[in-house]
Amino acid sequence: MKRAIAVIGAAFGDEGKGIFTDYFCRKAGEEPWCVRFNGGAQAGHTVVTPDGDRHVFHHFGAGTLAGARTYLSRHFLVNPAMWIEEYRELQGRGLRTRLFVDREAPLTTVWDMMHNQNMEAAAGADRHGSCGMGIHATMLRQQRPEMRLFAGDLERPGYLHQRIESIQAAHGSASAAIRNRFIIDCEAMASQINLCDSRVLVDRPADIIFEGAQGLLLDQDSEFYPHVTHSKTGLTNVLQIARETGINQIDAVYVHRSYLTRHGAGPLPGEDSNLSYHDDTNVENEWQGPLRFAPLNPRLISDAVFADYAMMREDTDTNVTPLMAVTHCDQQPWLGAGAHFASHGSTHRDVYDLRRR
């Protein structure tokens, strides 16, 4: 039996997926694998180690500080312009990074980012809630065969340059400096990654941790559409990769805070402007505004989790064990001294087997 762990956000993102990915990687055997199965550079997964080492991960798996390798699946949107910044930061800290990228992973360009940002600025009070990272624009562009761009194209310089020029022209941009800068970033990325496909995970003795981005309430098919992400945030992509790689047992760890948060436009049930918790990562910015808060809504969370878990019943090849993980419990006095939580750094958590509840 080949097992894996899937860390999935159960709310509107920002639940603590990074610290849990780091935690499971540290419990794993030698050189585990972090598999990014959705989203893109808009994800910001913060890890703070007990000795104070801190990093917000965007392209590299949140298990990197624990020695994990990262596989960006075909469901992950690769952004060379954002990757180069994180790569240089990690290299400057002397960290070893091993990045494997699926050839079919879509490439996000700087013009996709500009398009999302311009659309949000023009929308004013009717903003969709974009992070300005070009995720939605990339997915729309990829639906046009003549505009598609994939990670595998990084090893085809002539074709890559031609396609980049076509994308730039389609956006009405004529800046040679921006185009040349993006091409340089693409060339740098091509020289530092290992292009592959999901078979890289086959016959690997190391532990595999699937690291999700965003949360179930931001899934592209969520009830909160259109204020969602253009991505499947739950088990869908995980099960696809599991079937391809012979994984037949998955512990699905659904993570949420002891309260609700939302960073960006869109509904937040029970939003309370009087609630406020300090957050070093989710700071106020032009595209998302301030981090918003609401009391925990158990029914909202449980409905989303069980709806996601229900889909595994159609997958006869994979056995899924649903688990619930709670973070930021130290910020809730109502939990009382009787609650038992293990600590890892400054984050508290507990894991519950949902089949027994």
Which pLDDT score, from 0 to 100, does residue 347 have? 40
Task: Return the higher-pLDDT residue of 275 and 279.
Answer: 275
What's the rounded mean pLDDT across residues 19-46? 93
Q: What is the pLDDT of residue 342?
A: 34
Mean local confidence (pLDDT), 339-344 = 35
**Residue burial 259-283, b: 16+ Cβ < 10 Å; e: rest:** bbbbbbbbebeeeeeeeeeeeeebe
Domains and CATH numbers, the chain: 3-104+205-356 (3.40.440.10), 110-194 (no CATH)
Query: Model-level pTM?
Result: 0.90
Share of the chain above pLDDT 70, in %: 89
Would you say residue 349 has pLDDT above 80?
A: no
Pull the structure tokens for residue 247: 């994984």
Q: Say which range, 105-109, 131-135, 239-243, has the weakest mean pLDDT.
A: 131-135
- Determine the pLDDT at residue 26: 93
Q: Given pLDDT bands bounded at 50, 70 and 90, which one contains residue 287?
A: low
Cβ contact 253:5 at 8 Å: yes
